[in-house]
Amino acid sequence: MINHSRFVTGAPSGIGLQLATTDVNAVIGGYLRDLAFAQSSQPKMFGYKRAAAAILALEEPFTDLVGPDGALPRISGIGPASTRVIREILDTGESPTVEHAIEQSDRRADIERRRQLRRHFLSRAEVRRVLSDPTFAGPSLEQYQGDLQMHSEWSDGRPTVQEIADACLQRGYQYAAVTDHSYGLTIAGGMSMPEAAEQRRAIDAVNAWGGARFKMLQGIEANIDTTGQLDLTDDEAATFDVVLAAPHSRLRRSEDQTGRMLAAIAHPAVRILAHPRGRITGSRAGVIADWDAVFALAAQRGVAIEIDGDPARQDIDHTLASRAFEAGCVIALDSDAHTTTQLSYAETALAHARLAGVPAERIVNCWPLDRLLAWLSNPSSEGRR
């Protein structure tokens, strides 16, 4: 039986209290992912990964979904074996079943490594809790005016630019930047310059339709190469309304890459350092760098440091974001959406900004369009405050 009251009332039971104050869905999702990686059968591994993903995407903490009689809810994608693990975690805060499976596998070291790579990731339910908790000083969803990283059919995204505009208007945005990959990143369907010119005409049509209600910017997600240079010439970069620079290689190295990141920020066209580390939950740590040095240069130049809200990225997280803010950086909060439903990933970025205590004033997405455009044409105007 579940001692339901422990989680609801926060009765002074060590583990129950801990679960009541932590991101319970992240704890459950983590154990289910551990269990996935302890499997030798591929179908079982994928099954537990799916179960973990279903828990991490729940809108409510699991503790709120338990019936008064202790019954667990039925959730699509979660089978009886996963349910047993969830029951153990709700009862005790841990899962002997998962620990036993890890013991039986020969993968303990790999699983411990993956556990370290899940730090400072929020579940969807935790994102919603942080957004609705008035004690955080950071930006609210209502203050968020537009999203500055997303992908369309012109690279590896699904929607047309018109579908993106419709979805952004439904979310109440004033503006958005479509930021497809540039041609150097062929693996992500990078857009050639002739394609970019064609996309520009499609965006012009969206803006003619949107009028004063909505402004779509043509951005580009340039790839930062191993030396910190971009996969665009200066003339090519100048054709876009906003240039994001992001690392997509050398993301599993242990050596310091501060120089690479400083070079990218020093590039005169760059306005946003996107998913700065390139980390992926439970998989890779991304770029290792002296982030305080990177933030100091970004603050000086007025380059925004991004919090990428893709649930698997959450890059940078709130711990680094508070250091970027302290250094004087402006911050960008973006979804990195590849479908229109993924535009909600911006909320993950907002939650990290709230946890980091970054005020709306220092978040480029919370500015009115005229201030955003002024910053894009002269970034140092918003440099260190």
In whole angstroms, give the CA distance from residue 156 to residue 187: 9
Nearer to Zn ion, 23 or 334 (CB): 334
Q: Which residues of 348-383 are buried (b: 16+ CB within 10 A; e: fewer)?
A: bbbbbbbbbebebebbbbbbeeeebbebbeebeebb
Under rule CB under 5 A, residue 246 binds Zn ion: yes
Residue 88 DSSP SS3: helix
In sequence order, the β-bridge partners of residue 237 are none
Note whether 257 and 289 are within 8 A (CB).
Answer: yes
In whole angstroms, give the CA distance from residue 121 to residue 99: 22
What one-character DSSP code corresponds to residue 183?
T
Q: What is the closest distance, in whole angstroms, from the C-beta atom of residue 303 to Zn ion in the complex?
A: 16
Q: What is the closest distance, in whole angstroms, from the C-beta atom of residue 247 to Zn ion in the complex?
A: 8
Under rule CB under 5 A, residue 177 binds Zn ion: no
Nearer to Zn ion, 101 or 150 (CB): 150
Nearer to Zn ion, 95 or 149 (CB): 149
In whole angstroms, give the CA distance from residue 262 to residue 186: 24
Nearer to Zn ion, 174 or 179 (CB): 179
CA 324 to chain centroid, in Å, comes to 16
Q: What is the 3-state secondary structure (H, E, C) of 337-356?
A: ECCCHHHHHHHHHHHHHHHH
| Token pair recorded at residue 15 | 């583990």
Nearer to Zn ion, 251 or 356 (CB): 251
Q: What is the closest distance, in whole angstroms, from the C-beta atom of residue 139 to Zn ion in the complex?
A: 23
Scanning 84-92, 164-172, 241-249, 295-303 for contacts with Zn ion by CB under 5 A, the matching segment is 241-249
Note whether 149 and 308 are within 8 A (CB).
Answer: yes
Nearer to Zn ion, 50 or 250 (CB): 250
Q: What is the closest distance, in whole angstroms, from the C-beta atom of residue 195 to Zn ion in the complex?
A: 18
Q: What is the closest distance, in whole angstroms, from the C-beta atom of residue 278 to Zn ion in the complex?
A: 8
Strand ranges, E, within the chain: 146-147, 175-181, 215-224, 242-247, 270-273, 304-308, 331-334
Q: State residue 193 phi and psi, 5-degree precision.
A: -65, -40
Nearer to Zn ion, 277 or 354 (CB): 277
Nearer to Zn ion, 246 or 280 (CB): 246
Q: What is the closest distance, in whole angstroms, from the C-beta atom of residue 77 to Zn ion in the complex?
A: 27
Scanning 22-30, 44-52, 240-248, 361-369 for contacts with Zn ion by CB under 5 A, the matching segment is 240-248
In sequence order, the β-bridge partners of residue 224 are 230, 247
| Token pair recorded at residue 349 | 């970025």
> Own/partner pairs for 94-100, CB < 8 Å, 24+ apart?
94/15, 94/31, 95/31, 95/35, 97/35, 98/31, 98/32, 98/34, 98/35, 98/38
Residues 318-337 that bind Zn ion (CB under 5 A): none
Under rule CB under 5 A, residue 86 binds Zn ion: no
Q: What is the closest distance, in whole angstroms, from the C-beta atom of residue 246 to Zn ion in the complex?
A: 4
Residues 58-77 that bind Zn ion (CB under 5 A): none
Q: Which residue is nearest to Zn ion (CB)?
A: 246
Q: What is the closest distance, in whole angstroms, from the C-beta atom of residue 221 to Zn ion in the complex?
A: 5
Nearer to Zn ion, 126 or 310 (CB): 310
Scanning 49-57, 58-66, 232-240, 244-252 for contacts with Zn ion by CB under 5 A, the matching segment is 244-252
Q: What is the closest distance, in whole angstroms, from the C-beta atom of residue 8 to Zn ion in the complex?
A: 41
Q: What is the closest distance, in whole angstroms, from the C-beta atom of residue 51 to Zn ion in the complex?
A: 27
Nearer to Zn ion, 138 or 278 (CB): 278
Q: Tell me the site size for Zn ion, rule CB under 5 A.
A: 1
Scanning 47-55, 79-87, 238-246, 299-307 for contacts with Zn ion by CB under 5 A, the matching segment is 238-246
Binding-site ranges for Zn ion (CB under 5 A)? 246
